[in-house]
Amino acid sequence: MTLDANGYWYMDLHSHSTDASDDAGGTVEGYAKWIVARRKKGFHIDGFVLTEHRQFDPDADYTALSEQYGVTILRGAELETDIGHVLVYNLSPEFTRGFDLASVSLDHKEVFKRARETGGFAVAAHAGRPRIGLAEHVHGRGVTTDGIEAIEQLNGGSNDEENGRAQELAEQFGLHRVGGSDAHFVSAIGRCLTAFRRPITSLEDLVQELATGEYHPVTVEQTLDAATEGAR
Amino acid sequence: MAEQRYFEDVEPGDEFNEHWTPTRESVIGYLTVGNAEAGNTASRFTSDEEAKKIGMAKAIVPGAFSMVMASRVVADWMGPEGKLHSIDVDFRRPVLHDDTLNILALVTDTLEDDGVPTVKLDVYLENERGERPVQGTALVELPKRG
């Protein structure tokens, strides 16, 4: 488990699988296999976080797959709030007991606050997307970004304009920025990533790094550039 | 006739594509197959005005037409002895008339479960706005050499 030649560790922080998201066509093993195939072509993808829609199964365990393919596989959730979708990492029983995860209108302030209080971290997903992204709620409804530390600026399911809108929001309010593929199908995994400065092999690592703010979003093509530059 | 593809020559990560720009004329042509009147009726598929009434930027391409085109790309790739067992797509955003589309297919796995040489593919349409309005998977059986 080492950083790439330029000192980065690349994680896809947003993905869905057939295990728990009914709109997904990709299996967890399929994602791991695809990452191995991408690595053979020079791309750097160290792992991914499964963020299934509106649920979290504390008993799901992907350790065997993770070891078999040499890919970090972590689990979070994508919840639905009054300011759009929110990715939550390291959901503790204390956190999940406090919310009906299946709800489509959770109080975002409570989600962000409780995530941090219970050892987790929350990120506003696909922030530039109409209706389900934070930007529209900030600019259209006057919602503040109080309590929000990071947004998903680069989302694989958003178009260029939407990702640009998220970038403007991050710059305007000084929010940290992550990247995630929002993969629902195998070949989309790792399309957008977050570049961290330290290896991440556990949810505790992930939360610790997200709290530092020392990361940025990248496309998978940018990891190839990094590899090429590093080899020179 | 398309060239034959063999199971041994395929590996995860392989990809192939075809460009497609659905024009109003081609959409009408599609709609008219089996229903001569459909192409002459103003609808969200043929009229910008009708499409705008339901919140679209302009006239949209029928989902089934997009699926047919994706199926054709896979069928051309696998060759005459290949068997397309299934294709399953989600329609995540509208495809608009005159969009510049890239129909992409990627090999995500190769299997020989029960001795049947099978290839799993991801199939999607990508437009000039960086969107993937149609995404899905296909399952293809390919012949083996010899």
Q: Where are the domains of chain B?
A: 12-141
Please report residues of B whose CB lies closer than 8 A to that of A161: 129
**CATH H-level, domain B12-141: superfamily:** Hotdog Thioesterase (3.10.129.10)
Secondary structure letter of residue A106 according to DSSP = B
In the numeric block, which tokens belong to residue A125?
Answer: 């997903």
Distance between A49 CA and the closest CA of chain B, angstroms: 19
Q: What is the pLDDT of residues B11-26, one digit of tens each?
A: 998 999 999 999 999 9
Residue A43 — φ and ψ, nearest 5°? -80, 150
Q: Between B108, B130, B131, which is nearest A187 by CB? A: B108
The answer to whether B65 touches B58, Cβ cutoff 8 Å, is no
Beta bridge partners of A79: A86
Secondary structure letter of residue B115 according to DSSP = G
Q: Domain boundaries in chain A?
A: 12-194+204-217
CB contacts under 8 A, B 33-92 vs A, are: 88, 90, 92
H helices of A118-193, in order, are 134-141, 160-173
**Cross-chain Cβ contact B108/A40 below 8 Å:** no
Q: What is the pLDDT of residues A109-143, one digit of tens each?
A: 999 999 999 999 999 999 999 999 999 999 999 99
Model confidence band, residue B40 (pLDDT cutoffs 50, 70, 90)? confident
The residue of chain A with its CA nearest to that of B104 is A187
Distance between A25 CA and the closest CA of chain B, angstroms: 7
Task: Give the HSE-up count for residue A207: Cα atoms under 13 Å, Cβ half-sphere.
Answer: 18
Q: Residue B11 and residue B3: Cα distance in Å, rounded?
A: 17
Length of chain B: 146
Under CATH, which number does the domain A12-194+204-217 receive?
3.20.20.140
The residue of chain B with its CA nearest to that of A183 is B135
Alpha-carbon torsion (B22, B23, B24, B25), positive or negative: negative
- pLDDT of residue A226 exceeding 80, the answer is no
Residue B113's contacts (CB-CB under 8 Å, 6 or more residues apart) are: none
Q: What is the pLDDT of residues A178-193, one digit of tens each?
A: 999 999 999 999 999 9
Please report residues of A whose CB lies closer than 8 A to that of B11: 37
Position A232 scores a pLDDT of 31
Please name the residue that has the structure tokens 């005459």: B80
Q: Residue A12 and residue B101: Cα distance in Å, rounded?
A: 26
Q: Residue B55 and residue B69: Cα distance in Å, rounded?
A: 25
Chosen for mutation from A53, A187, A224 (greatest number of chain B CBs closer than 10 Å) is A187
Length of chain A: 232
Give which of B99, B98, B105, B102 is closest to B77, Cα–Cα. B105
What was the ipTM of the complex prediction? 0.79
CB pairs under 8 A between A and B: 53
H helices of A48-148, in order, are 63-69, 93-97, 108-117, 134-141
The residue of chain B with its CA nearest to that of A182 is B132
Q: Residue B113 and residue B84: Cα distance in Å, rounded?
A: 16
